[in-house]
Amino acid sequence: MSTTENRPSRPSIGAVLVNWNAGQHLIDAVKSLEAEGVDEIVVVDNGSKDDSMDMLRAQFPDVPLIQLPNPGFGTAVNRGVASLSTDIIF
């Protein structure tokens, strides 16, 4: 029996990124979360007027995107959390 068979599986990890005109910072955040092994990432956009959504779709077409008319940070986080199915959410 290998030692990996004795280890408990790690919980799945999800992250919600709330965006408002973040541009390249959003792209950098998604890259960082992917590099850290986050299992699910969702971006909730709060009515951005910049090109951050176009950038996200071009570079990360598989990252789910929820677009809202800026109901506030808390509402955006709650919508993102509701869309994830992971054990732990950041």
- For 15-56, give the secondary structure using H, E and C: EEEEECCCCHHHHHHHHHHHHCCCCEEEEEEECCCCCHHHHH
pLDDT on residue 49? 96
Check whether 1 has a pLDDT greater than 80: no
The predicted-structure confidence for 23-72, as pLDDT tens digits, reads as follows: 999 999 999 999 999 999 999 999 999 999 999 999 999 999 999 999 99
Answer yes or no: are the C-beta atoms of 68 and 42 closer than 8 Å: no
Token pair for 80:
């993102």
Answer yes or no: are the C-beta atoms of 78 and 71 closer than 8 Å: no
Q: pLDDT band for position 7 (50/70/90)? A: low
pLDDT on residue 5? 61
The amino acid occupying position 20 is W
